[in-house]
Amino acid sequence: MNPQKIATYFNTIRYLKPGQIYYRVKKMLKMNCSLGGYPEKKGFDFAPQSLETVEEFDFDSAFLARFPLDEIMADKVILLHETETFCWDRPWNFPHRTPLWNYNLHYLEYLFPLVKAYKDIGDRRYLDKIKTIIRAWIKQNPRGTRPGWEPYPIALRLTNWLSIYTHLESDFKADPQFHSDFIYSIWEQYDFLAHHLEKHLLGNHYFENLKALILCSLFFKDKEMQEKSLTAFYTQCREQILPDGMHFELSPMYHKLILEDVMRVAVALRGAGKRNGEIENYLQSMLDVAYSLEEGLERLPLFNDCGNNVAKNLSALCEAAKAHFDLIPKYKGKMPDSGYYIFKKNDWKLIIDAGQPGPTYLPGHAHCDAMSFELFKSGKPVIVNCGTYAYQCDERAFFRSTAAHNTVQVEGVEQSQCWGAFRMGKRSSTRVTACVENHIEMSMRDQNGNVITRTVTLSDAYLSVSDVSGQNILTSFLHLIDDIKIDMNECEKNSGIYSDEFGSRKEIGAVKIRRRNGVKYKFDLIAGALATAQSE
């Protein structure tokens, strides 16, 4: 192994928690990873307790629209903009698709349009299709089969199956053999998950694991596992939910997923007569963050790993918060713990990322987007980050790079050392030095120790940006949705790749400004033009 690769591994591993290394070794040795207890095997012999679910999530119209009903009835699966015609009674793995696509296949989220249609009109064809798909999954995916029995898809599938059971309990019980097989499969997945927690990863994966254990422990009235999983869940909430309410991986998409998790757990606990104030106390601040970032926009802001076809709609989150907890979101423009700052002028909304790449021990969903921004007019994106196309693909390195974001680099050096699909070695750090009204000053130290100061101001007429870093050569990047007039000296104009949803990409305009001593540019909000860049 060459010295450079050794250094990369060292600068990646040194940020990990000792426990992550310990549990990674256990995973490699195929040893169990648990909370110190396991579900009782007798649990599935008892009548399960159906849980209170969140219909605002299960039947969110935007969510259901991702899986056209007629396509599912014709045995076609559309996931992340890619379609497969699928004979359910065959191996559930498509080697030519990405691991993320195959993970989504095993979530079985696409059953919810069938559930909704059956509940609405009572056509048994929809119920029969639901049972056909579930039977096929159980038959074709015996315990331990990958990828369906990896902990993350188990956690998401269990959540979905428990909700489906709540909606269709009487119909499932009318078919005793199916009901028995279904309940046993839920218990078997619950048991497997309890033995294979993702403590080597932590973050949103471990959070999903714990959420599923809590729901299953309520379902099977497993008091011991309920206590253990709730205790671990409290610990993760305290660590993963920042004081300003943002999820600590700093992705607007993952923040909404975690908010949904917290809400589902809180609703299930209430329904079981076990209302939990500690968990519910996180909801208002988390809801405020989701609302503030996305309020008035036609899509999520694209910072870190983020796409608009994964998490539930903001409207569904707000409706569920109101219906179950009587919560109404409150707007806030400053989120100092996560580093997000929002400026608004007339029809314009500017979102700035002045935060860190993510948790030091978990930067897998982080991009080189320090000091980047997105600009919207009347909710429509104008100046954008490039987004996230997929996790395991040839383009992954580009979408995580500095050049894919509206930010800046020194002497061609990436802000952080991203490698592999989810790795990061040396990384940047950012701090805000001043923030008043619609003006912010911040500085970023890149992986090599170079320091750049960026000043951003949103006035009635202009968005003004200034980047300074001594005598260094700076390169600033911009990505433009529309064909905007560009009147700038010494800039390079070309096309860029834009992916606002996983699996979808299109060409947009891209501008690169390279200058020594500093870069300064402004975007004319009235004329819709990018004005001359000058050095200082």
Do 260 and 57 form a contact (C-beta atoms < 8 A)? yes
- Whether the CB-CB separation of 383 and 325 falls below 8 Å is answered with no
Query: CB within 8 A of 172, min separation 6: which ones?
Result: 131, 165, 178, 179, 182
Average pLDDT over every residue of 324-342: 98
The mean pLDDT of 187-213, rounded to a whole number, is 97
Residue 379 half-sphere exposure, CB side, CA atoms within 13 Å? 6
Closest residue by Cα to residue 212 from 147, 271, 281, 260: 260
Q: What percent of the chain has pLDDT over 90?
A: 91
CATH class of 45-194: mainly alpha
**Average pLDDT score, the chain:** 95
> How many CB atoms within 10 Å of residue 95?
6
Are 519 and 409 spatial neighbours (Cβ–Cβ below 8 Å)?
no
Question: How does DSSP classify residue 439?
Answer: E
What is the average pLDDT across 217-231? 96
Decide if pLDDT at 301 tops 90: yes
pLDDT tier at 535 (50, 70, 90 boundaries)? very low
Q: What is the mean predicted confidence (pLDDT) over 154-176?
A: 98
Q: Which two tokens stand for residue 261?
A: 């998790």
Question: What does the pLDDT average to over 5-11?
Answer: 91
pLDDT average, residue stretch 416-434? 96
- For the stretch 381-393, pLDDT in tens is 999 999 999 998 9
Q: Which amino acid is at 469?
A: S
Question: Which H or E run includes 70?
Answer: helix 69-73
**What's the rounded Cα separation, in Å, for the pair 281 and 285?**
8
- Percentage of the chain lying above the pLDDT 70 cut: 98
Tokens of 25: 């070794």
Domain boundaries, the chain: 45-194, 241-331, 373-530
State the pTM of this model.
0.96
Q: In this predicted model, what pLDDT tens digit does every residue of 250-295 receive, in sequence order?
A: 999 999 999 999 999 999 999 999 999 999 999 999 999 999 999 9
Query: Under CATH, which number does the domain 373-530 receive?
Result: 2.70.98.70
Per residue in 80-109, pLDDT (tens digit) is 999 999 999 999 999 999 999 999 999 999
Query: pLDDT of 479-533, one tens digit each?
Result: 999 878 787 767 888 889 999 999 999 999 999 999 988 999 999 998 888 876 4
pLDDT > 70? residue 48: yes
pLDDT confidence tier of residue 44, bands split at 50, 70 and 90 = low
Give the separation between CA 350 and CA 342, rounded to whole angstroms. Answer: 6
Question: How many whole angstroms separate alpha carbon 185 and alpha carbon 138?
Answer: 7
pLDDT band at 46 (very low <50, low <70, confident <90, very high): low
Whether the pLDDT of residue 421 is over 90: the answer is yes
Rounded CA-CA distance 6/13 in Å is 11
3-state secondary structure of 29: coil
pLDDT of residue 493: 87
Q: Taking 70 as the threshold, does the pLDDT of residue 45 lie above it?
A: no
Buried b (16+ CB within 10 A) or exposed e, 69-83: beebeeeebebbebe
CA 115/CA 72 separation, integer angstroms: 12
pLDDT at 43 over 70: no
φ, ψ of residue 247 to 5 degrees: the values are: -70, 140
**pLDDT exceeds cutoff 80 at 130:** yes
pLDDT of residue 536: 38
